[in-house]
Amino acid sequence: MSRWLLAVATLFVSSMLAAATLPAWQATVDIQPLGMAKLPDVVVPKQSVILKVTVWMPEKVNWYPRYPQWDMPGAVLLPLLMLSPTIEREQAGSTQRGATQNYLLTPLAEGTLRLAPTQITVYPDLADSPVLPFAPMQLQVALPNAAGSIEQFLPATALKATQQFYLQTGENEPQEVAPGNLDQLMLQNGQVLERRITIEAQGIQGNQIPPLPVDGDSLQHQAQALDLNNYGDFTGGRRIEHWFYAPGEQNRIQLRPLAVRWYDLGSGTFKTEHLAGSTIHAVAHEQADSRLRLSWWERLTLLSSRQMVVLLAICVLLVAIIRYRRFILFALQHGMNSGRRWVRETEGFQFLKLCGYIGVCGLGNGGAQHALQHWLQGGVVGEHLESCEAIQRLNRSRYGVQISKMPSRLDVLGELLILRRRLVTVGRTPLRSRYDLPGLEC
């Protein structure tokens, strides 16, 4: 019995000691190489590495931590898909659970790049969230000798450059052409030759692979870049360039040879991949034009159904315009006359006409008097004329006994503007039709 009690006590004490040796919370941040056995002290621009972040948690914690928004000026950080974000470790006979997240770190500038922040707030939404500091992380970045510019620099642990050729005729499926048969190829009108160049580089993102210098003889150039993954693990990038060639003014088209210069991260040396060029024959534009003189009926048969409908609608419209041109012209003329009459009979036009008469011809002009009576006609204006002394003097001098001299045109214009502003404010602007007014003589 004593032996059994001694064994239980020993097991209990050892488990307590093991639990005491494991930290309750711990954060570790590490930079690991990609495709290399060991991370060098100095990396080169565009060389992608793995930033591994791990948070170790107490035994009874099951929540995943929330990682901060990492920032490293001069570099790009992208989170990677983690198929198994949960890890465990054994220490002194005890197991501790943790969560890990990998980031793809790609430096794009030279110098000492530093990671921020230097601590992890496990649960930012909680006031008592654990805050786990870790050692500051930095990365030394420098270009190797004779590297040139960063834009044209291509580092990789391994690189492969290939090219294929495809002949496109009309809407048919492209047919692959062997490189040895290019010298025997004769490009006809309506045919396009595609030169497809593929560059696969390990340890670098696809969008960081520099573009190839565009061939001047190519008709069109397209490019696409993507990243390569192996079950969620980043391995490298791929860049595909499409160069298209078609018959032009010359009988020969030169496909120039290409040299892809890249930096081997394993050996620390520059290497070059070569792609052979070729010469293809093509039908010149003059010969192609003589072979493709289509009649109007042949060109008509090449139109699509939508284009045929549009052409038919245009023809019907032209026939209708020619057939009913007199009626169309009469309707347009009648509409223009009605529009002019409507504009002349509006209150705004009558007011502008009144001001124009007074300003140009003066107050003694018969047209000005007629325009004034035409605009003032109606009871809606009469109740506002009491404060318009100049207009009343003008009316008395014109139709009544002349007590005082005729007012100046500036005074009358000023009172007319004030009067119209009052009428517009109260919503009682006089609207008159020429058929509603009595015949006034100038």
**pLDDT tens, 118-142?**
999 999 888 888 999 999 999 999 9
Q: Is the confidence at residue 370, as pLDDT, over 60?
A: yes
Examine residue 371 and state whether it is found in any structural domain, yes or no: yes
Residue-level pLDDT at 253: 86
**232 and 131 share one domain:** no
Q: Is the confidence at residue 432, as pLDDT, over 60?
A: no
Q: Which of 177-181, 199-203, 215-219 has the highest mean predicted lDDT (pLDDT)?
A: 199-203
Rg of the chain over Cα atoms, rounded to whole angstroms, equals 45
> Average of pLDDT values for 27-43?
91
**225 and 188 share one domain:** yes
The model's confidence at residue 3, banded by pLDDT at 50, 70 and 90, is low
> Average of pLDDT values for 423-433?
56
Decide which of 272, 289, 306 is a domain's last residue.
289
Q: Is the confidence at residue 175, as pLDDT, over 50?
A: yes
Examine residue 53 and state whether it is found in any structural domain, yes or no: yes
Residue-level pLDDT at 284: 67
Q: Is the confidence at residue 372, as pLDDT, over 70?
A: yes
Distance CA 75, CA 55 (A): 23
| Range with the poorest average pLDDT among 28-32, 174-178, 217-221, 368-372 | 368-372
Residue 30's DSSP bridge partners are 52
User: How is the beta sheet containing 155-156 ordered, strand by strand?
Assistant: 155-156, 258-264, 269-275
pTM of the model as a whole: 0.59
Tell me how many domains the chain contains.
3
Residue-level pLDDT at 286: 55
Examine residue 92 and state whether it is found in any structural domain, yes or no: yes
**264 and 166 share one domain:** yes
**285 and 159 share one domain:** yes
Decide which of 107, 141, 175 is a domain's last residue.
141
Decide which of 243, 270, 289 is a domain's last residue.
289
Token pair of 229 as six digits: 């993954």
Q: What is the rounded (10 degree) CA torsion for 315, 318, 320, 321?
A: 170
Examine residue 304 and state whether it is found in any structural domain, yes or no: no
Distance CA 258, CA 144 (A): 23
Examine residue 440 and state whether it is found in any structural domain, yes or no: no
Examine residue 341 and state whether it is found in any structural domain, yes or no: no
The model's confidence at residue 330, banded by pLDDT at 50, 70 and 90, is confident
**229 and 161 share one domain:** yes
Examine residue 327 and state whether it is found in any structural domain, yes or no: no
**pLDDT tens, 230-258?**
887 899 999 999 999 888 777 888 888 99
Percentage of residues in the chain with pLDDT exceeding 70? 80
- Tell me the average pLDDT of the chain: 81
- Contact between 180 and 13 under an 8 Å Cβ cutoff? The reply is no
Length of the chain: 442
What is the domain extent for residue 183? Answer: 155-289
Distance CA 263, CA 274 (A): 14
Q: Is 338 helix (H, G, I), strand (E, B) or coil?
A: helix
**182 and 210 share one domain:** yes
**90 and 31 share one domain:** yes
CA distances from 236 to 40, 232, 270, 318, 340 (A): 18, 12, 18, 62, 74
Phi-psi group of 284: left, alpha or beta (phi > 0 → left; psi -120 to 50 → alpha; rest → beta): beta
**175 and 284 share one domain:** yes
Q: Is the confidence at residue 152, as pLDDT, over 90?
A: yes
**169 and 275 share one domain:** yes
- Domain of 75, CATH number, reads 2.60.40
The better pLDDT of the pair 91, 237 is held by 237
| Range with the poorest average pLDDT among 54-58, 73-77, 366-370, 430-434 | 430-434
CA distances from 223 to 162, 204, 211, 275, 338 (A): 15, 17, 8, 17, 62
Residue-level pLDDT at 75: 96
The model's confidence at residue 158, banded by pLDDT at 50, 70 and 90, is very high
CB contact set of 393 (below 8 Å; sequence gap of 6+): 403, 404, 406, 407
What is the b/e burial string over 57-72, where b = at least 16 CB atoms within 10 angstroms of the residue's CB? beeebeeebebeebeb
CB contact set of 84 (below 8 Å; sequence gap of 6+): none
Please identify which residue in the block is written with the tokens 């991949």: 273
Can you point out the beta strands (E) in 57-190?
A: 75-79, 86-91, 94-107, 111-114, 119-121, 131-133, 138-141, 155-156, 158-169, 175-177, 186-187
Q: Is the confidence at residue 45, as pLDDT, over 50?
A: yes
**129 and 163 share one domain:** no
**137 and 164 share one domain:** no
**162 and 49 share one domain:** no
Q: Is the confidence at residue 384, as pLDDT, over 70?
A: no
Distance CA 362, CA 358 (A): 5
Examine residue 170 and state whether it is found in any structural domain, yes or no: yes
DSSP 295: -
